[in-house]
Amino acid sequence: MLNPDELTREQRGLMAVAALVTAGGVLGAVLAVLSSVLIPLVMGLFLAYTVTPFVNSLQMRLRLPRGVGLIFALLIGTGIVFALTFLIIQSVDEVSANADLYRQRLIDFAHNGVDWLREQGINIKPDAIEGELASLPMSDLARQALGSMVDIGSKAALTLIFFIFIVVGGSAWEVKTGVWERIDQSVKRYLRTKLLTSTAMGLATWGILFGFQVDLAVLFGVVGFILNFVPTVGSIITVLLTVPIVFVTLEPLSGLAVVGLLIVAQNVIGNAIEPKLMGAGLDLHPATILVGLGVWGLIWGPVGMLLSPPLTAVIRIVMARYETTRPFAELLAGRIGDRARTTDIVL
């Protein structure tokens, strides 16, 4: 058996890496298996993190009793869950009901595209394109949409149940000191900033599409709000998702104007406003955020991608607490070698 005192620094480092990889694999498997319960729990916890600071501030300013503040928190949280669920389900139902109309619009758009290509001297047979579009399985899409609505409703209900229990049992979830206090502060700051910028992105998306009378403006506004929580790529995906419906609904020049305005809004909110509001943020390197996006997406799917930054930040803060894993915490923050700081992470 190896004596730890006889191991070199490199050997101890390799053993730490092996142990960390093994523990990470086991933890990821457990999280994936228990995802049906853990996802609503974490969503309910983050919803409580989002709502309670606002309610506490309101309670202090108006000098409300704790019971009244608790009712406010429950009403706000329940309202958020019901509003998002209702808007998503209504929009999915609208898409399902008008599936044939959108298919015909796609066919018309394809014909216009073929005519334009012919004017440029490029000959394409429209029959093949029309055949592919006409064979789109709209009935299957409708059934999938119905299944998605049921799944969204069940997850929202479970999230609401966890949220109520977390808020009602608030004293048991109060953060004391040390590492948990730092986690509490980091997550609250991140969620507060993201809530503001995501709301701005959702309203901007809805306003631009509504102003140009593009279909499903409300749906894409909600999508813009939700996807803005996905770091780096979320707002880009929002713009890309709007492109088909924009060009199916509008003339080419108007469509280009809409897409251009969406890109401007995405850049202003994501690259100018959010960094100023976020400040030091979660102390994660951009590469760490992208890797975390993929890892959490693999474990928990789209919800994992939404929650990946704060979850990765929690792991980094906990790892910074212990001497053995502190170098890995510094690596996640993008500080390597002489750039690594140790004085500010001893919690």
DSSP string, 204-222: HHHHHHHHTT-TTHHHHHH
Q: Say which range, 135-149, 190-204, 247-261, has the weakest mean pLDDT.
A: 135-149
**Pick the residue with more confidence: 201 or 47?**
201
Is residue 129 one of the residues assigned to a domain? yes
Q: Which residue has the higher pLDDT, 249 or 170?
A: 249
Residue 262 lies in a domain: no
The residue written with tokens 């890309």 in the block is: 240
Domain count, the chain: 1
Could you tell me if residue 151 is inside a domain?
A: yes
Per mean pLDDT, which range of 143-152, 260-269, 319-328, 335-344 is the poorest?
Answer: 335-344
- Alpha-carbon distance of 304 to 289, in angstroms, equals 12
Model confidence at 125, pLDDT cuts 50, 70, 90, reads low
Asked if residue 36 is part of any domain, the answer here is yes
Q: Is 284 in contact with 255 (CB distance < 8 Å)?
A: no
Collect contacts of 264-269 with beta carbons under 8 A, ≥24 apart: 265/201, 265/204, 265/205, 265/208, 266/201, 266/235, 266/236, 266/238, 266/239, 269/197, 269/200, 269/201, 269/204, 269/228, 269/235
302, pLDDT greater than 80 = yes
Residue ranges of alpha helices (H) inside 120-251 are 126-134, 138-168, 179-211, 217-227, 234-249
Q: Specify the amino acid at residue 121.
A: G
> Is residue 225 included in any domain, yes or no?
no
Contact in structure between 162 and 181 (CB atoms under 8 Å): no
> pLDDT: is 323 or 145 the higher one?
323
The residue segments making up the domain with residue 169 are: 23-174
Q: Is 218 in contact with 225 (CB distance < 8 Å)?
A: no
What share of residues in the chain are helix, strand, coil (percent, to 5)? 80, 0, 20
Residue 237 vs residues 81, 192, 194, 234, 267: alpha-carbon distances, Å = 23, 22, 17, 5, 13
CA distances from 315 to 54, 240, 282, 325, 328 (A): 26, 32, 11, 10, 10
pLDDT in tens, 57-113: 777 777 778 777 778 878 888 888 888 778 877 777 777 777 777 777 777 777 777
Query: Where do we find the tokens 């890109």?
Result: 263
Tokens read off for 321:
């607490």
What is the structure's pLDDT at 260?
94
Query: How many other β-carbons are positioned within 10 Å of the β-carbon of residue 55?
Result: 22
- CA nearest 73: which of 26, 65, 177? 65
Residue type, 250: L
Question: Would 38 be classed as within a structural domain?
Answer: yes
pLDDT in tens, 138-152: 556 655 665 666 677
Q: Dihedral through CA 125, CA 131, CA 133, CA 134, nearest 10?
A: 140
Q: For residues 80 and 46, is the Cβ–Cβ distance under 8 A?
A: no
CA distance 305 to 227: 9
| Poorest-pLDDT segment among 93-107, 180-194, 274-288, 332-346 | 332-346
* Residue (of 164, 242, 236, 235) closest to 208 by Cα position: 242
Give me the amino acid identity at 73: A
Residue 323 lies in a domain: no
67 inside domain: yes
